[in-house]
């Protein structure tokens, strides 16, 4: 698959009619849904609502006058996620879903590795199976670790992570690079 920036997808340089937003009911996901809908791209959202609410998407629908195809499911559940791919012709994915608290990741590292990495692997497998080759991954500045200099750049060294959360983001970046 090809890893794109959000700006590249949203710029209209790619012909897209439908985008899957994982974790799309969260703060960033719902704002991304709003922007895609306002630019004429249909949105499918999958979210388990562990750290979000469907009310955010109700507000997006009210603001845009457009419907969002919403699935309450965990992206780690391959059968539930496959159903979305079966029911929609997905052109691209923006992957926001995942646990995100650094402190909690230190206390519960296996929970973070299992959830964050498994969700990315499920998506990669289904992308390959259904021929979806565009993805934007919502990573984190934590992949840079303790900085040698600020600001960070895409070319800044990564892999000096200081928490399991950061390591999951770093590992997923590597998985997508290999994909």
Mean pLDDT across the chain: 92
Catalytic residue of the set 4, 71, 99, 165 = 165
144 is catalytic: no
| Confidence (pLDDT) at 9 | 55
- Count of CB atoms situated within 10 Å of the CB of 121: 16
Output 13 or 116, whichever has higher pLDDT: 116
Instruction: Kindly report the pTM of this predicted structure.
Output: 0.89
Token readout for 86 is 């079966």
d(CA 122, CA 119): 5
Q: What is the pLDDT of residues 52-104, one digit of tens each?
A: 999 999 999 999 999 999 999 999 999 999 999 999 999 999 999 999 999 99
Find the angle CA(8)-CA(29)-CA(125) to the nearest 5 degrees.
Answer: 75
Query: 143: which DSSP letter?
Result: G
Q: Tell me: pLDDT of 2 over 60.
A: no
């Amino acid at each position: 698959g090809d890893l794109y920036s959000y700006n590249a997808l949203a710029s209209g340089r790619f012909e897209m009619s439908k985008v899957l937003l994982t974790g799309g009911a969260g703060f960033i996901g719902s704002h991304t849904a709003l922007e895609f809908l306002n630019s004429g791209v249909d949105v499918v959202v999958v979210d388990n609502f562990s750290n979000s609410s469907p009310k955010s998407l109700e507000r997006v629908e009210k603001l845009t006058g457009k419907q969002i195809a919403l699935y309450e499911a965990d992206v780690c559940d391959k059968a539930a996620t496959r159903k979305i791919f079966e029911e929609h012709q997905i052109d691209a994915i923006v992957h926001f879903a995942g646990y995100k608290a650094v402190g909690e990741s230190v206390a519960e590292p296996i929970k973070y590795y299992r959830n964050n990495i498994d969700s990315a692997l499920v998506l990669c497998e289904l992308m390959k199976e259904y021929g979806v080759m565009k993805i934007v991954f919502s990573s984190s500045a934590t992949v840079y670790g303790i900085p040698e200099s600020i600001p960070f750049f895409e070319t800044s060294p990564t892999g000096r992570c200081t928490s399991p959360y950061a390591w999951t983001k770093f590992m997923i970046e590597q998985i997508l690079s290999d994909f």
